[in-house]
A and B are shown apart, each in its own frame.
Chain A
């Protein structure tokens, strides 16, 4: 093994799985820690490239508390060979990791303002570190509103935690499902529709949105209709990613590289690309 003069950003570091928790039939949350040394610092909104030996790499957002230096948390949905290999790792399984990469959620810009967080489905995972930060430093922010849209009551990601967040008297949490069942007595309907019902001051509100692209598109639209400027709306974008370090060209979205100019991006900077088909 050679000692490179500068660390090669293409080479993964080895991590061990501490715990694997099944969230849903096809979704698993992994808690991982480096085999040697300490996990690097990260900021809410950043992602890692997780490597399954011999299979490949995928980009997965951080989903844990940035102040927890002991481990990283990643919620992964099985959609292909690599995610399948990673979600089938048990405790003590080893995987490779490169990161953290990317531009984070605007926690600093949000200070002193009303903050609206809108999560759709698995989009709650990349937003969770931001939520931890808001709750952990509650005094730095004015109103904090969490709007969470899920497929149905049986598939509410991090359900117990969402219930805990709801118990905070100084945080407004609204959960809605696309499709209800007999057990559900809460909101039914798409999450953009909740935006209009929330009391926030649009001039000073910062919004952070994450979920399927269609959901983000219409949520951003609803936020904008409610009076929030595009400069104050942030989304987390996704595109095909290979190197994660701005050198392979795959993740380009307009003239932005999602791996280094994103994944968190301000709507005014990507409004044109966002509205263009097949870009």
Chain B
């Protein structure tokens, strides 16, 4: 079976794919309902998927609610992103033992092989973006590299637009077009089936022995129609034309002060964002002072400590920290890594307790910037 080949499986076939991945030693992670949200957890069976659930999202709002059908993937994205597995919230970097006058270092050893079920198009882009961050620089994150080495990805094409997402204007969806081993589109018009597109040799191999039928034109049309429907129901857009110059040239824009009146500096946005990668390092010892451990933990540029430099923080005001996050995400990232840092998943809008909307803020800055990109007002 070549790359791009399509076939159709039913629910039993889908379970067969899950079983095949587990049999190959992958730790399988997929969507499931827990604590009133659709999160990514270890799963084994399709019964654990959020069958018949959807999410209702708006700025500062997230609820799950029942659907009128039995869709397994009828939701958008929740508070989890795949970065929590590839770039874990807490990770031990090494352990050092003091023996008399000398020290010996023990490095991290365990390597996990993950299989992800239900990766959205925007999330595929987010993973690719983090690949650039962790693997594209002069120093590679060795553990991230090991986790991505054999990382099986089953993508899912969105049949529903989320309440806050904007992949179309970010050119990150809704169609999953690369970076996956298999891509599913859920078909509900007749029997409950899934159109499967092969994305890699590894993906093709996983389908061996799975009962399936060839995809016919009606299946392909239905899949295309679902994507078209999703595309048409995306409710937001972020104008990316000239956004780099716009934000870099306007560090003193009054809008930053206006945002700061609302922003709590709670760091939710950075926690849920699938591309935010900032971490801090935590060194500690045991009580006897013989064993020292270094851990790496997620951090956020919204904390006052983040920019601490003997005597005080560089970014003292909330205004400066919000400006840093948004300018990095939409502008500086382009210079650093060649693409935008935003994939339009909408999580930062949904999970912001005060409902700050990055698309709205970008539009507001653009509207009041006045001068065309490149001629900063007031001089920089």
Contacts and interface: CB of A to CB of B under 8 A. Distances in A.
A238 interface: yes
A10 B108 CA distance: 10
B295 to A, nearest CB: 11
Contact of A10 (B109, B294, B315, B317): B294
A272 B380 contact: yes
A276 B380 contact: yes
Contacts of A94: 101-103
Majority secondary structure, B binding face: mixed
A55 B293 CA distance: 10
B317 A249 contact: no
B321 to A, nearest CB: 9
Majority secondary structure, A binding face: loop
Contacts of A275: 380
Interface in B300-358: 301, 306-310, 314-317, 319-320, 323-324, 328, 331-332, 335-336
A54 B283 contact: yes
Interface in B14-58: none
A1 B284 CA distance: 20
Interface stretch (A109-117, A170-178, A253-261): A253-261
A contact residues, range: 35 or more
Nearest to A244: B139
Given A2-B107, A255-B335, A260 B137 contact: yes
B142 interface: yes
A6 B283 CA distance: 23
Contacts of B108: 2, 8
A247 B139 contact: yes
Interface string B87-111: 0000001101010011111111100
Interface of A: 1-2, 4, 6, 8-12, 14, 35, 51, 53-57, 79-80, 92, 94, 96, 238-240, 242-243, 245-250, 252, 254-255, 257, 260, 272, 275-279
30 contacts: A1-B105, A1-B107, A6-B142, A8-B108, A8-B142, A10-B94, A10-B142, A11-B93, A14-B105, A53-B96, A53-B103, A54-B289, A92-B101, A94-B103, A238-B309, A240-B306, A240-B308, A243-B279, A243-B296, A247-B133, A247-B134, A247-B139, A248-B296, A248-B299, A249-B301, A255-B328, A260-B137, A272-B380, A276-B251, A278-B314
